[in-house]
Structure formats: C-alpha cells, structure tokens
Amino acid sequence: MNQTVEYLALQDWIWLVAFVALMVGTGVAFYRLAVRSEEDFFLAGRKLPWWLPAVSVYATHTATDTPIFVTGIVFLYGVSGVWYLIFPIWVAVSAFTSTRIFRRSLAYTIAEWQNLRFSGIRAEMLRGWFAGWQFFMSMFVLGWVGAAMGKVSAILFGWPPWIGIVGFATLCAVYVLAAGYWGVVVADFQQGVIAFILIVLVSVWAILAAGGPAAIADKIDRMNSTYSWEVPEVSEPARDCLLRVEGTAEEKQGLAATMDGVFSIEPESAKRGAAPTREQVYESGGGLRILFPRPGDALRGGDEVKVIWTQVDGAEDLKLSLSRDGGGTWEVIGDRLRNGQSWRLDPFAFSGWFQGDFPLAWFFTMLMMAIIGGIGVGTNSDWFVEAQRMQSADTLKGATLAMLGGGISVVFRNGIWVAAILGLFTLTPHVASVSQVETSWYTAGFRYLPAGAVGLFVAAIIAIHLSTVSTRLNLGAMYATRDLYHHYIKPRATERELVWAGRISTLVLLLGSFIYGMMITEITEWLIFAMWIMFAGVWLPNVLQVVWWRFNAWGYLSAWVSSLVFSWLVVWVLPEFGVLPVLPNHAQFWILLGLGAAVFVPFTLLTKAEDMDHLIRFYVMTRPIGWWGPVKREAQRRGLISDELRSEP
C-alpha cells in the first residue's frame, strides 16, 4: 500500500477533486474571450490588471521540482544558499529597464522582437530560429516537469509514472485548448493562491516539528562538524583504515585527532556498511575526536557517508585524511573544512575566492548575470515566460508592477522554504546524500498536516504542476502560431484560423512532451548542455542588442553559431581529450563569454549597421537605454521625437 494514499482521508479526497474541478472549470469558462482573436488566445487581449500576470509569474515559477531544488541547496549551503536562489533580482532591474523597453515594442514573443530590433533577411533568420528553439524548449520543459510529476504521482498515489506524465498534462490541456492564455492566467491565479497558502502552512508546521524557531538555531549551533565523504571503491577489503582530522585552533595552535582504532572498507558487492546516527551529530565534550566512523565499523566502497568529528571552539582550516595501512601513509580526502554547523546560519559562508563548492567567483558571476542581465532581453530562460506576461498587462505601468510583484513573491516564497528546510535539516543532519532527503519538505506536509489539509496540500502540489504545464503549452504554441504559422506560412490568416493554429500547436506540444517525458533521463544531459549554450554564449549579445545601437543581426547570428561550437569544445570535447581540465561553472561562463566576444565583436564592426530608418522606428517606439546617440540625434533631426530637453537649463 502506498504510504501517501494512507495519509489521505475521505475529506482529503473531496477537497482534492473539488479543487481540480474548480481549476479546470474556471479555466474553460473563459472560452468565449479566448476565441475572439490571436491576441486574446495568447495575450488575453492585453487587458489584464497587473496582479493577474504577477500571480501567474509566481505560480509558473513554483514547480513540483522547486522545493526539491531548494532542499538540495539549503542542505548543502545553509542560508548562504539563498544566493543561489536570488536570481529573481534580475526582475528588479528589468522592471525599470528592459521590461519597459520590451513592453513598448508590443512584440508577442522574443522571436518577434528580432523583427523590430533588426532588419532584412538576418532578422527573419533570427526570428525563425527563436521560434523553433522556443517551441522545442517548451516541449523539453513540459517533458521535464511531466517526468517529475510521474515520480511524484508514484509517491502520491502509487500510480505508474506514465499516468502522472499523461494524466495531469491532459487535464491541463483541456482549459489551455479551450481558453488559451485566458484559461492559463485565471487558473494560475487560483493555483498561485492555494500554493502560497499551503507553502506557508506546511513550512510553519515543519518549523514547529523541528522544535520551533529558537530551537532550530540552537540545534545548529550545537552540531558537530561533518563532511560528506564518498567512500573509495576497493576490489579487496581494506581492514586497516584510519581517519585523521587536523587544523588550527585559536592563536594558530595546531590541532589534530586520529581514530583510536581501525575501521574497514568493503567492496561494493558487500552488504550496506555502517551509517552515522543523528545523536552523533549532537554528541558533545571530550575535545577533538572523530565520532564516525567508529573503530571496528565496516563501510562499503561507493557509499556516501558523513564523517563526524567534534566541534572545537575557534578551530579552522580543518583537513581530513585517510590511511589504508594503519597510519603508515595518508591521503587528504577533504580540506578547508568547516568547524561545526553554525556557518549554516551565515549568509556569507563562501568556500574561498576560487576554491570549494561555493566560491566567491561563482557568487559574483551569478550576481552580475542577474543584475546586468536584467537590462537585456532574453538573458535567461524565465525571460521568455515573463515576456508574455509583460505584454498581457493592460498598461506599461501594469507590466512593471506585474514583474515586481511576481519577482518579490518568488523571493519571499524561497525565504519561507529556506527557514523550513533548515528546520528539517536539524532532524536528519547525519544523512550524507542530498538525494535521500530532497523530498523532506513534501514528507513534512504529509506527516504533520491534519486530515483535510493533506487533501489541500496534494491539490497544491497538483496546482503548481498544472501552472507550469499550462504556461509552457500556451507559450510554445504562441511561438509556433505567431512566429511560424502567422508570419511565414499564412500572413493573412483570419483570427479564427489563428486561434485554431494555436490549438493545434498546443496539441502537438502536448503529444511531444509525452514522448520527452518518457525518455527524459536519456536526453537530460544533452538538453542541459543545450540550455547552457543559451545563457553562457549569448548572454552578452542579449544585453548588447538593447544597449548598443551598432550591434547588428550579423553580430547576433555569429554569437549564436560560435556559442554552439565553443560550448561543445569548452564543456565537453577539450576536457575529454585532456586539453582543458573540467572547469567550474564560473570559469566556463567567462571563457565562453570571452571566446564569443572575440567572434561577434569583429562580425558586428566589419558588417554594416542596421538600416537607419529601421533603427529610428525601433528607437522611437521602444526608447532603449544605453548607447543610441546617432539614432536619437537623427530621430530628433527628423522631428520624430522631442528635443525640448536640450533647451532646459
């Protein structure tokens, strides 16, 4: 019997069925508004009050895998993991720069934007490329979240994964096919509200279950030092193993402790080895000593375990070494290790400038990508979703507020999760592998919520899945309809034909996503690589297209092509042949950015600028920020924009 099904009482099932029916029903109820035109089917007629797209942003970016991701980040980095989740700050910059510029362009999609920013056949090539890419990406994201929901459904209801993949997406498609974007935002509103309430409720329950807010901080302060260690694989049992921890105490005095007796490492084929306990993490007193493994323990090669040693006041620069021959020779298995766990409450607990798992170099790179990237258009995967919400707001001011409202809600939600997951961490601090605890937030909901509320919790899980699916179905269909069918295949299509093209595209996406969902594990690595190309190699060109009048379509196209080549080389091919080491993320980003610039800057400067009439039209319409002097002066000379400011004192 499935464990979660046991948690569901009759009133839970009633809530669950009622809420799903409400979501689908109200979505479908907007059918008549959606069928009026292409603009209605994809942008709700550009008539939405700001809070509807704001909630839609929030709901869309709360997916079934988000709490799993946040759990992993907090278990690894504590509060400093918030920096990993701070990426929505790009919205704070964008709301006052690129959101205003993009909203003024009125482009349905970022593909359409290419036609406005650039001119001629190059712009058409870019538009076609973006449309195809985004249709494909939507299918991939749908497959990805579908596969995740397949796993969640197996846990929730004991169903085989394919039912989770096909069933919920099909349910969602009912209102997306009927009511397009109207259905998406109206359902998103309900989904966003219910998800938000349940996230707060479950998180508060989790904090209380961990002993309450004060107890969580106290427990973390009392915890011993730990290191997640993957036990080396051995072909023959190693019976004379020892661990030693060394470091410096206050006033730089040396500090060292070696195990009192040996432990063994068994081959991978042996039965599961010894595991640390929660109590060992909290055991106190006795100076520096290793608490796990204990003398006589047998660990299994390939297993991940937490080595535990006592917390000592003022200890730092800790190093852990292994001897396989009873102390004759030593190999370092971890260095620059932290003392105790109090660092988990420190927002600046970085692992050094360039070393370790969370270096400052990566922190500054992420901040720069978010803040500078906020000025550009299409600088991250969320941009494509947000672009639709910007254009669906009733006014330019509404688009700005929608972005701010959606972004801050996401940041607030992450903060609640971080607190709750820190609490859950105090319950299982001895678990080494994040994969064993990544669903702990979900488990907390099922375990601690009262009957009735569990049904709502399951409804909220379904809601956050449906909001992501509905958004991606409509978004991908918009690229296929607006940019491929309407622009290239049938430019004079009637509104009725366009709505039907939207529906057929939605259906194709849905069916394609089922195939992706079933085979996602085989293609995930390749697709993550494909997404990485998108953001590392063309990040700077995405900014330049907004801030530099001279940046042209040839530069942009060359950036895309070179990015494809360089990404393969830097990420896969050269490390495979030993020419380059496997580089950390920040190094990959800067190298790809530099290599790309070495191609697209010459391409831009050696080819003609975009047609001045086209640039003036774009400038007058969107008023981009940055270096647009020649275009602005020409527009003023032609009397297309006011130059009254020049006469001001």
| Binding residues vs another protein (CB under 8 A) | 79, 82, 85-86, 88-89, 91-93, 95-97, 100, 104, 106-107, 112, 115-116, 203-204, 207, 213-214, 216-217, 347, 371, 374, 395-398, 400, 404, 407-408, 411-412, 414-416, 418-420, 422, 486-487, 491-492, 617, 621, 623, 625, 641-642, 644-645
| 488 CB neighbour count, 10 Å cutoff | 12
Nearer to another protein, 132 or 415 (CB): 415
SS3 340: coil
- Give me the least distance between CB of 356 and another protein, in Å please: 21
8 Å CB contact between 207 and 423: yes
In the complex with another protein, the residue whose CB is nearer, 218 or 325, is 218
Nearest distance from C-beta of residue 181 to another protein, angstroms: 17
What gap in Å lies between CA 129 and CA 560, rounded to an integer? 10
Provide, rounded to whole angstroms, the least separation between the CB of residue 120 and another protein.
Answer: 13
Residues 240 and 205 sit within 8 Å (Cβ to Cβ): no
Shorter beta-carbon distance to another protein: residue 184 or 416 = 416
Q: How far is the CB of 400 from another protein (least distance, A)?
A: 6
Provide, rounded to whole angstroms, the least separation between the CB of residue 322 and another protein.
36
Q: How far does the chain reach from its first CA to its final CA, in angstroms?
A: 79
Smallest separation, CB 623 to another protein (Å): 5
Smallest CA-to-CA distance from 377 within 99, 647, 578 is with 99
Total Cβ atoms within 10 A of residue 278: 12
Shortest Cβ 93–another protein spacing (Å): 5
Taking a C-beta distance cutoff of 8 angstroms, is the pair 400, 99 a contact? yes
Nearer to another protein, 307 or 416 (CB): 416
The residue (of 271 and 492) whose beta carbon lies closer to another protein is 492
What gap in Å lies between CA 29 and CA 186, rounded to an integer?
Answer: 10
Nearer to another protein, 414 or 552 (CB): 414
Of 287 and 639, CB closest to another protein? 639
What is the distance between the alpha carbons of residues 637 and 641, in angstroms, rounded to a whole number? 9
Cβ neighbours of 275 (radius 10 Å): 16
What the block records as the tokens of 439 is 């669903």
Residue 6 CB, shortest distance to another protein, in Å, is: 30
Q: In what order do the strands lie in the sheet with 290-292?
A: 225-230, 304-309, 290-292
Cα angle 236, 241, 244; round to 5: 150
Helices (H), 210-320: 213-222, 278-282
Q: Which is nearer to another protein, 220 or 534 (CB)?
A: 220
Task: Report the residue number, 119 or 323, with the smaller CB distance to another protein.
Answer: 119
Are the C-beta atoms of residues 373 and 543 closer than 8 Å to each other?
yes
Identity of the residue, 91 or 595, whose beta carbon is nearer to another protein in the bound complex: 91
Distance CA 225, CA 199 (A): 31
Cα–Cα distance for residue pair 554/568, rounded to 1 Å = 22
Question: Phi, psi (5° rounding) for residue 584?
Answer: -70, 165
Tell me whether strands 290-292 and 331-337 are parallel, antiparallel or unpaired: unpaired
Which stretch of DSSP H or E encloses residue 358?
Answer: none
Task: Phi first, then psi: give them for residue 439, nearest 5 degrees.
Answer: -100, 20
Residue among 278 and 397 whose Cβ is closer to another protein: 397
Nearest to 42 by CA among 534, 391, 560: 391
Q: ∠ at Cα 13 (10, 19), nearest 5°?
A: 140
In contact, 437 and 428? CB cutoff 8 Å:
yes
Q: Min. distance of Cβ 637 from another protein in angstroms? A: 15
Size of the chain, expressed as the number of residues it contains:
649
How far is Cα 406 from Cα 225, in angstroms, rounded to an integer? 39
Least CB distance to another protein at residue 423 (A): 8
Whose Cβ is closer to another protein: residue 21's or residue 641's? 641
CB of 32 to another protein, least distance (A): 22
* Rounded CA separation 400/96 (Å): 7
639: left (phi over 0), alpha (psi -120 to 50) or beta: left
CB of 107 to another protein, least distance (A): 7
Ramachandran bin of 378, using left for φ above 0, alpha for ψ from -120 to 50, beta for the remaining angles: left
Give the pair of three-digit tokens for residue 478. Answer: 């918009």
| Beta-bridge partner residues of 110 | none
Question: 221 or 325, CB closer to another protein?
Answer: 221
- Closest to another protein by CB, 162 vs 627, is 627
Q: Is the bond preceding 293 in cis, omega lying within 30 degrees of 0?
A: yes
Beta carbon of residue 203, minimum distance to another protein (angstroms, whole number) = 7
Closer residue to another protein, CB minimum distance, 150 or 192: 192
